[in-house]
Structure 1
């Protein structure tokens, strides 16, 4: 037999075998009689015209009444979408020991920025979490408050300048992104990024340009997500090399300067310098990974949270008025001085932010990975070991069976008596349980300060140009990726 004929036969046999294996894998939930949509290669249950968030939402809406979870595939990775709030609570809290990991790619050696607290496996996560937790204590937050307030006042001045130039119609993501960059740059690195005074400032321009650049194609990124352990063994990376070099250089130069000049600063990096100098402490690369995680999460998520809250306040003038009245009354009590204690007394402000994050969670779903087989309270519903768990935050928080009239913006949903009657898994913008967001207090504080200063200084309206800002906002979990224009008037 000619060599080329033999080669073709081998190829066809391998191809047929692969098809059989893929078909069998995709029949997993059907064989177990678990509700699911039929998956298709290569995306599984994520079709080319959609994204993971929308696909999860469809699954939830279609199967939420059938049982505690439904079957799902992300590419070839077996997953379940959880519907039952008690099951979600058990996964995140009561039985966390069986779901301590997120199943996300990280490669400490070749892609150090990926090896951060958000992505690390159980053992390294536990150690690092206990080391970094003091950085986000209530005392630390009080210490950082004046820094954030000072930057917030610059935000007001910057918005004033924009209004003078742009006739009071403002694209909010840009200016809020500059505020968040300055807050995070100062509180994470101790650096004055100067983004609010100069929108072409190096730090903001570099982060914005590099963070929007994808290292791989959509298919390669999907394969890395589906097979993170294999991708790690193949020494693959997700982070753009320029972004990696930028953060490591910033961390290294800042540490060298502080140690050489005995500089102390009340920021996140200071704690990590202390950890670096103890036995078995953090390396420069490990420190860079953690600072990158907090900076990038803060940049994306806090920007989106502030902008969508302003958007909802512009749509709901009665809520905006009530919030402004509370701010005015609290400020009068504290003699027109905004302090940490004054901010913490603004209860309606907290309700407004909770309702905004209920309607527009900046993270549309949470991921967990099953360590062992997990038997739910329903006999046939078993979550197999190494199955990816998808907790559909956006779908749950916009479910009329959980929150009646979910499209209606109503901060009074978060009165204390209503919160106590509600399952804790019904509101998860920051997660819950041992692996909840470590920067929760910090994120809330920079959101609160921005809203207090902006609402007390300006009135926000939706723009008449409907083509510039969609209503409702797109459901894609990336509220900060588009442009949101609001009309802004000085008070």
Structure 2
């Protein structure tokens, strides 16, 4: 999988050199990074090789864009469903564009059918899901495979686009990160290894700081599992009883940008996450929190 990601990264660099060149040009980081994550997900998860950077108008790119840019009405229904989940089932509200969802399902089903017909086995994501169809049914497995497409391409593309934007705005941080990368490039003799990427402390801090300032999700949705009484520590108002089954919204963006938890929150300071205590703070929820935290972490 790492080799496939590296191959996609090389194609991304070639594209960047052609479009931006030495003189430098302005480009949209979200579109750029989402193309890379799209290509990576297609080859690593589904075994579908598409040269996204060479075919910017392909159906796969259009699918990715529609997932990233929902229509206003779709976005409205999404937020309503967070507040009133029962309405979602009653009105059969969908979270994504129906046409795009069907395309993703068809793509994955075609990949399954091709492998079944040709008796092909693979160690990728689809290969691991294939035996589960007999246990959970094809529809459930297709839904899981489609969810991976959304999470792997859309949310990862947003996170990657965010850090590129932050690095462009903060050249001193970019230079410091570049120095760390060059150090590991030299250590790996010009080719970064998976292990080296996991080791880089400043790279990790830059990603966390970007996710702090602009989290992919502005809030988390939870459901209260047992009745709880919240008593304000400053006694500014009476205790609040939260009944079991009440939908709860955790405002991640507000918490991440609250000076009570992060000093100078409007400034991009990756160094804050180099501190051991801050690196493990419960107030950073870039990947959510608890047993249902994002596996993207």
Shared fold (TM-score, shorter chain, > 0.5): yes
Q: 1:275 aligns with which of 108, 116, 132?
A: 132
Higher RCO (Cα < 8 Å, 6 or more apart): 1
Question: Does the 8 Å contact 1:330/1:345 carry over to 2?
Answer: no
Aligned residue number for residue 407 of structure 1: 266
> Counterpart of 1:346?
200
Q: 1:172 aligns with which of 20, 26, 29?
A: 29
The answer to whether 1:203 aligns with 2:203 is no
Residue 397 of structure 1: how far off its partner (Å): 1.0
Partner in structure 2 of residue 250 of structure 1: 107
- Deviations 1:117-156, CA, capped at 9 Å, x for gaps: xxxxxxxxxxxxxxxxxxxxxxxxxxx2111111111100
Q: What is the CA-CA distance between 1:416 and the residue it aligns to?
A: 4.1
How much has 1:322 moved relative to structure 2? 0.9
Matches of 2:157 and 2:203, distance apart in 1: 17
The yes-or-no answer on 1:436 pairing with 2:293 is: yes
What is the aligned partner in structure 2 of residue 385 from structure 1?
Answer: 244
- Does residue 308 in structure 1 map to residue 143 in structure 2? no
Q: How many residues align?
A: 292
Give the CA deviation at 1:336.
1.3
* Cα displacement (A) at 1:167: 5.7
TM-score normalised by length of structure 1: 0.55
Name the CA distance, whole Å, in 2 between partners of 1:220 and 1:412: 39
Instruction: Compare CA radii of gyration and give the structure with the larger one.
Output: 1
2:221 to 358, 367, 382: 367
Q: How far did 1:346 drift?
A: 1.4
Instruction: Give the equivalent residue in structure 1 for 2:10.
Output: 153
Give the counterpart of 2:257 among 393, 398, 417: 398
CA contact (8 A) 1:248 1:285 kept: no
Q: Tell me which residue corresponds to 1:332.
A: 186
- Listed one character per residue, the Cα deviations across residues 315-359 of structure 1 (whole Å, up to 9, x for unaligned) are 221111111111111111111121111212211111111111111
Task: State the alpha-carbon separation in 2 of the partners of residues 394 and 210 from structure 1.
Answer: 21
Deviation digits for residues 5-45 of structure 1, max 9, x if unmatched? xxxxxxxxxxxxxxxxxxxxxxxxxxxxxxxxxxxxxxxxx
Cα deviation, residue 270, structure 1:
1.5
Structure 1 residue 266 and structure 2 residue 123: aligned? yes
CA contact (8 A) 1:251 1:284 kept: no
SS where residue 206 of structure 2 aligns?
helix
CA 1:187/1:377 → structure 2, altered by over 3 Å: closer, same or farther? farther
SS of the residue aligned with 1:382? strand
Q: 1:439 to 1:351 in 2, by over 3 A?
A: closer
Aligned pairs (5 A) from 1:227-238: 227-238=84-95
Q: How does 1:127-146 map to 2 (within 5 A)?
A: 144-146=1-3
Cα pair 1:185 1:193 within 8 Å, conserved = yes
The 5 A counterparts of 1:60-99 are: none
Instruction: In structure 1, list runs of 5 or more residues that go unmatched.
Output: 1-143, 441-491
Q: Could you tell me how far 1:398 is from its partner in structure 2?
A: 0.8
The answer (yes or no) to whether the contact 2:74–2:95 under 8 Å persists in 1 is no
2:228 touches 2:244 (CA, 8 Å); kept in 1? yes
Where 2:249 maps in the other structure, the secondary structure is strand
Name the CA shift for 1:268/1:355 in 2 (closer, same or farther; >3 Å).
same
Q: Determine if contact 1:251/1:287 at 8 Å carries over to the other structure.
A: no
Distance 2:126 2:159 in 1: 24
Give the RMSD, CA atoms, in angstroms. 2.5
- Superposed counterparts of 1:183-198, under 5 Å: 183-198=40-55
Aligned-partner Cα distance in 2 for 1:211–1:314? 22
- CA-to-partner distance for each residue in 1:381-433, whole Å, 9 max, x for gaps? 3211222211111111111111111112111111243326x642x10010121
CA contact (8 A) 1:210 1:243 kept: yes
1:320/1:400 CA distance change after superposition, 3 Å: same
Match 1:417 to one of 255, 261, 276: 276
Asked if the contact 2:44/2:125 (under 8 Å) is kept, the reply is: yes
